[in-house]
Amino acid sequence: MTGGGLLVAGTTSDAGKSVVTAGICRWLVRRGVRVAPFKAQNMSLNSFVTREGAEIGRAQAMQAQACRVEPTALMNPVLLKPGGERSSQVVLMGRPVGEMSARGYHGGRQQRLLGTVLDCLEQLRDTHDAVICEGAGSPAEINLRRTDIVNMGIARGAGLPVLIVGDIDRGGVFASFFGTVALLSREDQDLVAGFLVNKFRGDVSLLEPGLGMLHGLTGRRTYGVLPFRHGLGIDEEDGLRVSLRGAVRESAVAAPAGEDVLRVAVCAVPLMSNFTDVDALAAEPGVVVRFVDRPEELADADLVVVPGTRGTVRALRWLRERGLAEELLRRAAAGRPVLGVCGGFQLLGEHIEDEVESRAGHVDGLGVLPVRVRFAREKTLTRPAGRALGEPVEGYEIHHGVADVLGGEAFISDDRGHRLDGCRVGQTWGTHWHGSLESDGFRRAFLREVAAAAGRRFVPAPDTSFAALREEQLDRLGDLIEQHADTDALWRLIESGAPRGLPFIPPGAPA
């Protein structure tokens, strides 16, 4: 018997679809329901590698964790990784299949993938009691409806009821709810069951008259009003949870275990990928993480991180144009800590040969690390494990660049001390491994080295568990759904589909 399903759509991007989907998943699994997440098509530079070596969006990996299941390529069959203003790398079933312009993708390729994504969804529904699907952007993007495979296209193809999430903190949520429904065709509107208000501040009783009027206007009920909560935006996909020259948004900095705090500056390079790598640093009591784009903002940093990017050569040019490259060179020469991750590691090397990503050919790197990088057409997608600074460490690799390390100390080694990845010269480190800082023992050892080099009396807290903190966040999301949504009505939707006889709201989609 095929399991139930639900599509969580949104009035806009960043309305809260990812976290609401994760919250519903965690609520269901705590009820004993076998549940899986699904997103037909994801556009994100934050990705993850599954156990079988498939690349999917980090949001779906986080949602799989909410379901307490291993993430697989079935959960995100299409991933688009922007490489510029008008083109993206297309990752199909976890493997890159080429670069494509937005016009080329929406002009025909996307619609041909509908059968693939519906097949993946059917496989998940055959093996689970429920599949909670996440939409993308808004389902009322009328210019893209003909080729849509992620919003109403997948809902229609699989007969899924649709719950529309609106971020009331932005304002205009009633107009957004009504307008979203009114711009859908009659057939699409038949599947829109109702609404969920996200990020509400204040007295819900003041909102209730509006919800009643919305029901009268649309014939559709509101399934819950979720209150605003800090610190719930985990593993987002469409936008940085940061503002430049600002701290990681919504992160609470706990008091340090030692006498000093540790200041971390992250260079906000173009096409930044997997900026979630620094979440584990921000979770440490007394560590303050900021994203910066000016050289003077590196002056008081105890550690500078050059993160991953989908455009290594472009990021290198950006660092030089802004004067950040010169400051990084001064830091390295003075023995002040710098960490490069993936693309950030590559550009710290001597030179780059790139006929794949930028097609720029030979490009001189910053020359801080004795590393030469050649871009291969085949993408490395692995989940390695090793040891660093005397501690076990795990991570995942997503890169075309192949590093030839010509010297320096090994950063990550196997149990016999043989180099597995990366390089260290003085207080400059580089690694291809994303997620390594989530290994608690290694993170604490690394921060102790940084503190010593920076002359800070900072002491890592002995009991910070990043995995436990992630579980606490997911449980908080589940609590939000359980406490502030009509869970009985939600389960009826998942199990039985959209109510019959929902009224049509004119004008509907244009012909």
Instruction: Write out the catalytic residue numbers.
Output: 342, 434
Rounded Cα–Cα distance for residues 289 and 287 (Å): 6
Residue 186, SS3 per DSSP: helix
User: In this structure, are residues 396 and 48 in contact, taking their beta carbons and an 8 Å threshold?
Assistant: yes
Residue 465: other Cβ atoms inside 10 A: 13
List CB contacts of 416: < 8 A, sequence separation 6 or more.
none
CA-nearest of 86, 76, 85, 87 to 46 is: 76
362-369 LR contacts (CB < 8 Å, sep 24+): 363/313, 363/316, 365/316, 366/316, 366/319, 366/325, 366/328, 366/329, 368/328, 368/329, 368/332, 368/338, 368/425, 368/428, 369/340, 369/345, 369/408, 369/423, 369/425, 369/428, 369/430
User: In this structure, are residues 472 and 448 in contact, taking their beta carbons and an 8 Å threshold?
Assistant: no
> 363 — phi, psi (to 5°)?
-135, 130
CA-nearest of 174, 177, 169, 102 to 139 is: 177
Rounded Cα–Cα distance for residues 334 and 7 (Å): 53
> 347 — phi, psi (to 5°)?
-75, -15
State both tokens at 52: 């079988």
Nearest-5° Cα angle at 153, 148 to 158: 150
H-assigned helices in 149-223: 152-158, 173-182, 186-189, 208-218
For β-strands 351-354 and 423-425, DSSP reports them as: unpaired
List CB contacts of 297: < 8 A, sequence separation 6 or more.
245, 265, 290
Rounded Cα–Cα distance for residues 145 and 128 (Å): 29
Residue 245: other Cβ atoms inside 10 A: 12
Residue 296: other Cβ atoms inside 10 A: 9
Rounded Cα–Cα distance for residues 310 and 89 (Å): 10
Strand order in the sheet with 412-413: 391-394, 385-388, 412-413, 419-421
Rounded Cα–Cα distance for residues 251 and 438 (Å): 16
User: In this structure, are residues 312 and 347 in contact, taking their beta carbons and an 8 Å threshold?
Assistant: yes
Q: Cα-atom radius of gyration of the chain, to the nearest Å? A: 23
Residue 281: other Cβ atoms inside 10 A: 23
